[in-house]
Structure 1
Amino acid sequence: MSPTEHRALLRPTAILDYTHPRIEALIQSRGWRRLPTRERIAAIYDFVRNDIAFGYNLADDLPASRVLDDGLGQCNTKGSLLMALLRACGIPCRLHGFTIDKALQKGAITGLAYALAPRNIVHSWVEVELDGQWLELEGFILDADYLRALQQRFAKHQGPFCGYGVATPDLHAPPVEWNGGNTHIQKDGINQDLGVFDDPDRFYARHGANLDGLKRWLFQTVVRRWMNRNVARIRSAQSSHPPQAGSQPATPQGRQ
């Protein structure tokens, strides 16, 4: 990586607003900058994965500081926060954009919310440069409590699983813990590769967010609250609860 590319992948942007006082205060309180590089990435990854719960924000293109304030997020918004924290701690990173089939979200999203969702949902993961290699980080999307609830809910399921925010070959052993390699939880739901971008600002400028107009207004004012209540119910469910009607996982869509 050239010095110019290195600087571009560390700079703040309107979405990656890591100079915000609350982001800086978090980094100082956690002492992340004092950690060796691998431990630094691991600590930031674990924070975004588990301290920021899986849920739905007002929009995909929110500043990272707003995602931190919300305390929840999904693939795109948690990715923005992860990138902001990594860059603030000197870790070069970029965004890889995709679309996913909305079947991946069925169960987490139901009813009107599912009907409003576009067939192909804008999706992304974060790539970090470490020891001259680019690593794919996507496994941070679902917090451990939510994933554990799904594993209990579908305790007898074997083979590929697609639904409830998951698209993976094995629900009970998804590669979500960061140990120096790639992590994934929705990769098998990808149906279009949109390429690599220096930052989310450029990605959304080219491809937009998932909703606009009336659908965006309905999502922000009504539907999002239903979705987050549903996700909270799934997370808090006991293993003795049977799956809801119609909640069997779908077959993952093939990657194009």
Structure 2
Amino acid sequence: MNMQHSCVQLTDLPDELLIMIFKKLNNMQVLHSLMGANMRLNEIIRDQTFTDRLTFVKWSFNKFFYPLSDTTLDRFCQQILPQIHHHVKWLDVEPLSMKRILLAGEYPNLYGLSIYNIEEEIIQYFFNEADLSATHYIDHHHLSITSLAKEIIRHSENNTPTEHAILIHDYVRDSIPFGWSGRFWNETASDVIKTGRGFCNTKSSLFAALLRAVGIPCRLQFVDINTQILHGLVDPSITYELHTYTDFFNIEQQRWCHVDSYIVDTALVSAAKEKLVQENTIIGYGLHRDGQSEWNSIDNTFIQYVTNSEQNEKLERPLTIHKYGHFADIGAFYEAADQHGVQDRLSNRLFKWIFPLLIMPRNRAVENLRKR
């Protein structure tokens, strides 16, 4: 019996009886078979009875879950979901087809998402709200952050999280040039926009805030890095200082990516690398000679924290020593560090008073190099 003849028979039945029949069938099969058959059936099967929960997986006897066939997915993503996405409250998906399904509609009433065959690393992400939460320093709910984030991604061609992340990265890298403010690290992300310059700690706060403002999870990692990385810009009085980089979760690739390539602006990178080559130096002027400032949102990319370079063996001191792990923000890190004793807190306070006197020659050195 062909579909047209079946529909003619179905339309002879009253709506109440049709609904009773359809309820006894698999709702996915009902939607796949009857959506678009005629206006009356469309109206019936668009009801939340059949669209509340959609299951885009099938399972085998060994309890392994598979995606639906490509032809079935095509029909749902191209023809069905755009018509019913506003009714959907729960989706059952698996990683291979999840992206297509989620991009097929806006799902304003979605409150549940079951993901099958998901790796442990992905599970940790989905259940860690901190990677999307606002903090004192990562104040991504601030109007200046939300407005800026919208403006940056407005230029997105494909409107994907990956493309949004790259646009945000490039903005932070070049629109907030490398430099210091009198408040040193003690700036919120919205403060950094006002200051108009930043270094690893503050630019990382801004990068994280803009990512979270568009729904991209991320976290900040803290390590001690060799202060010779700033050779030629400052006269380091200590051997190591705190460095911040960002863990970015690429949901399309389903893995974490580590990046600090947004810290040094393109103009400074070009001039600094030229100086490093001239001096036959590995680190200095704010970067590592093997560092990269272009990022594809997939690969780990560093301009300072370049730990995989063979050149590091030639350094007098290791590039990095302590790796502290990730904290909610820079303030949370220093709160934890302050618990080591009063002397640490006193030193930190003294440095905050002294640092504003030091930034003018630092920024002047950066600007002179950038203009080369």
Sort the TM-score into its range (normalised by shorter chain): 0.7 to 0.9
Residue in structure 1 matching 2:264, options 142, 145, 149 = 142
Q: Give the CA deviation at 1:205.
A: 1.9
The residue number in structure 1 matching 2:100 is: none
The residue number in structure 1 matching 2:243 is: 123
Q: Give the CA deviation at 1:154.
A: 4.0
Residue in structure 1 matching 2:337, options 187, 194, 207 = 207
Query: Is 1:60 the counterpart of 2:190 in the alignment?
Result: no
RMSD of aligned Cα (Å): 2.2
1:126 counterpart SS class? strand
The residue number in structure 2 matching 1:132 is: 254
TM value normalised by structure 2: 0.56
Residue in structure 2 matching 1:101, options 209, 223, 226 = 226
The residue number in structure 1 matching 2:174 is: 50
Q: 2: CA distance between counterparts of 1:32 and 1:79?
A: 22
Q: Give the CA deviation at 1:127.
A: 0.3
Count residues in correspondence. Answer: 225
What amino acid is aligned across from residue 228 of structure 2 in structure 1?
Answer: A
What amino acid is aligned across from residue 267 of structure 2 in structure 1?
Answer: D
Please list every run of 5 or more consecutive structure 2 residues that lacks an aligned counterpart in the other structure.
1-122, 308-318, 339-343
The residue number in structure 1 matching 2:5 is: none
Residue in structure 2 matching 1:183, options 296, 301, 305 = 301
Query: Is 1:166 the counterpart of 2:166 in the alignment?
Result: no
What amino acid is aligned across from residue 153 of structure 1 in structure 2?
Answer: K
Counterpart contact for 2:135–2:328, Cα < 8 Å:
no
What amino acid is aligned across from residue 186 of structure 1 in structure 2?
Answer: Q
The residue number in structure 2 matching 1:14 is: 136
Runs of 4+ in 1 over 6 A off after TM superposition: none
Counterpart contact for 1:99–1:193, Cα < 8 Å:
yes
Q: Give the CA deviation at 1:31.
A: 3.3
2:127 counterpart SS class? helix
Q: 2: CA distance between counterparts of 1:124 and 1:33?
A: 28
Q: Give the CA deviation at 1:103.
A: 1.6
Q: 2: CA distance between counterparts of 1:154 and 1:101?
A: 16
The residue number in structure 2 matching 1:80 is: 205
2:132 counterpart SS class? coil
1:9 counterpart SS class? helix
Q: Give the CA deviation at 1:129.
A: 0.9
What amino acid is aligned across from residue 4 of structure 1 in structure 2?
Answer: F
Q: 2: CA distance between counterparts of 1:43 and 1:74?
A: 19
Please list every run of 5 or more consecutive structure 1 residues that lacks an aligned counterpart in the other structure.
238-256
Question: More displaced, 183-192 or 8-17?
Answer: 183-192
Q: 2: CA distance between counterparts of 1:107 and 1:154?
A: 10
What is the CA deviation profile of residues 202-245 of structure 1, one whole-angstrom value per residue up to 9, with x for unaligned ones? 2232136996233321212x1111111111111112xxxxxxxx
Residue in structure 2 matching 1:69, options 194, 214, 234 = 194
2:224 counterpart SS class? strand
Q: 2: CA distance between counterparts of 1:226 and 1:175?
A: 26
1:184 counterpart SS class? coil
Q: 2: CA distance between counterparts of 1:142 and 1:47?
A: 11
Counterpart contact for 1:32–1:89, Cα < 8 Å:
no
The residue number in structure 2 matching 1:4 is: 127
2:187 counterpart SS class? coil
Flag the structure with higher helix content: 2
- Residues 198 and 214 (structure 1), Cα distance of their counterparts in 2 relative to 1, 3 Å cut: closer
Q: 1: CA distance between counterparts of 2:248 and 2:153?
A: 20
Counterpart contact for 1:126–1:137, Cα < 8 Å:
yes
